[in-house]
A and B are shown apart, each in its own frame.
Chain A
Amino acid sequence: MEPSEEAPPADEGLFAVGRPVPVGTYLRDLWHRRDYLVRVPVEDLRVQNAHTLLGNLWLLLNPVLQVAVYLLVFGVLIELDRGVDDYLAFLTVGVFVFHQAQRTVTAGARSVVANVGLVRALRFPRAALPVGSAIGQLLSFAPVLVVMLAVTLAHGHPPDLRWLALPALLAALTAFGLGAGLLAARATHTYRDLENLLPFLFRLLFYLSGVLYSVDHFVDDGALRALFALDPLYCLVTTWRWALIGTDASGLAWAGTVAWPTLFLVVGFVAFRAREATYGSGA
């Protein structure tokens, strides 16, 4: 049926099942499934709010309400500028980018254990599960991106050439989420504990990545600042802000924006595939 299945032809046109396939075949199988990978998240998004009064308006309302809360807390209740001119736009970009990474990794981590039934019933490259969940997160990011752009526009940042970097930045954000999600999916399959730990890890990173404050403003020591580039989320948040609200991004932050997603994607894919055969067997 699938041409890629006709691996080394054994006797009389038979071939072996249950053997690992070469990486090229694996990626080809994954590509062959692309329509399925897109269809499922689209369908899930479509029915997600089926039982609510406002329906899919919630996809847009969620980020809007989130910004409204920040506006109320940081704009009206506490005056907390911390060395940035337009704190609301600064915060909105930081929080939305950070949360997108968090959601992609978390969904990826759960994708295998949540779909054991599917893994046991159908044969397909298991990486399809984290990839599918990353696609789903990417799709649900669209309304968030719209709100984020609206906020930055409202704060007097007209579209400029830096917006051209957005597709690449979105790719980097998604690649990081997918790569870390593949790693987390493998780890979660062995140690379910990770599902409980991930929120705290991200909470910690949230405070370390300069989402709420400007690292440049608070950290004067150059060497110390360089350490922040070890945090992929700091790099991503910083370069996204560069594109949307024109704050500075160091060379290290740019290097991190390219290097971390690439590294996570490669290591995550290799690590995930190494346990490919075990994902259906429960342990």
Chain B
Amino acid sequence: MTGPTPAPTAIRCRDVDVRYTIRSHRPLLRDLLRGNAPEATTVHAVRGVDLEVRVGESVGLVGPNGSGKTTLLQAMTGVLPLAGGELLVRSLPTFLGVKAALRPRSTGRSNIRIGLLAQGLRRDEAEARVADVAAFTDLGPAIDRPMETYSSGMRARLHFAIATALTPEILLVDEALAVGDRAFRERSARRLDEHRASAGTVLLVSHNLAEVRRSCERTVWLQEGRIVADGPTDEVLRDYEAS
């Protein structure tokens, strides 16, 4: 949003570093007794990222696999600790990652309840939204069948519906829209549009560049944990596709 006064900052990354340690094996008794640690490789997944996202912006995050896109989002939610730098946010970003909280043997409806509670709602707040979310999935009577009986497309619809039910101020989306049939994809995209229209901030990680073009006015290109380019989507994606 370019106006006379820029919108306030939603997310500010200053020199953010995120590291993983991957060991060749977990320490064995042998190692402890001899006092040598197993060979450890530190993966420097995000290196010195400086990024300022303003309220109401929707920013695409592109880059090859392993470039640190998802890791950066995880750091923003506080799921992964920072190895260095500073990460400030206006409100705690929500990750479209509710999938892990759902239980295959429970019905779609029970899972909506669980998913909403998992995202921090109280029981009465969750109860008030269950019907809406169930309607959005458009699963019909299947909503009362156990989730393990769903096709992968049906599951994906359930996940998306639950994860976007809360419309948080800052929404982080990781490859979530490439799910379900065409009608559902369109409805999902509409939901994100509505979210942006209500001054929400969106960070979208995707390999689907058409989707990034459609949804984001600004794009950040990550490569090996560093920002290669940051600017208007058209320009950045032109360079990205040419690389």
Mark A residues whose CB is within 8 Å of B: 1-2, 5, 10-18, 32-33, 35-36, 39-40, 43-44, 46-47, 50, 115, 117-124, 191-192, 277-278, 280-283
Contact = CB atoms under 8 A, between A and B. Distances in A.
A5 B91 contact: yes
A192 B26 contact: yes
Nearest to A14: B88
A278 B92 CA distance: 19
A64 B62 CA distance: 59
A14 B86 CA distance: 11
B12 interface: yes
A280 B146 contact: no
A50 B146 contact: yes
Contact of B95 (A2, A121, A277): A121
Give the top 8 A-B pairs by smallest Cβ distance, nearest first. A121-B97, A117-B100, A36-B117, A14-B88, A35-B123, A47-B105, A277-B81, A17-B78
A2 B126 contact: no
Contacts of B121: 35
A281 to B, nearest CB: 6
A47 B114 contact: no
Interface stretch (B15-23, B187-195, B207-215): B15-23
B118 A36 contact: yes
Contact of A18 (B75, B91, B95, B110): B75
Contacts of A12: 8-9
Q: Chain B's interface: helix, strand, loop or mixed, by majority?
A: mixed
B120 A32 contact: yes
Give the interface centre of A17, A32, A40, A191 by most chain B CB atoms within 10 Å: A17
B131 interface: no
Contacts of A43: 103, 106, 110, 114
Interface in B1-18: 8-9, 12
Given A35-B122, A281-B21, A1 B101 contact: no
A38 B118 CA distance: 11
Contacts of B67: none
A207 B128 CA distance: 52
Contacts of A5: 91-92
Given A47-B106, A120-B100, A281-B81, A14 B21 contact: no
30 contacts: A1-B92, A2-B92, A12-B9, A13-B8, A13-B90, A14-B90, A15-B89, A16-B86, A17-B76, A18-B78, A32-B120, A35-B121, A35-B126, A39-B123, A40-B114, A43-B110, A47-B106, A50-B146, A120-B79, A121-B97, A121-B99, A121-B100, A122-B101, A123-B78, A123-B79, A124-B118, A191-B27, A278-B81, A281-B20, A283-B26
Contacts, number: 123
A117 B99 CA distance: 9
Contact of B100 (A1, A47, A118): A118
Given A121-B98, A122-B118, A192-B26, A16 B88 contact: yes
B169 interface: yes
B158 interface: no
Given A40-B114, A122-B95, A282-B20, A14 B89 contact: yes
A11 B9 CA distance: 10
Contacts of B98: 121-122
Give the interface centre of A10, A16, A122, A191 by most chain B CB atoms within 10 Å: A122
A36 B89 contact: no
A18 B100 CA distance: 20
B113 A39 contact: yes
A7 B114 CA distance: 27
Contacts of A1: 91-92, 120, 168-169
A115 B97 CA distance: 13
B161 interface: no
Given A5-B91, A12-B8, A123-B77, A39 B100 contact: no
A119 B117 contact: no
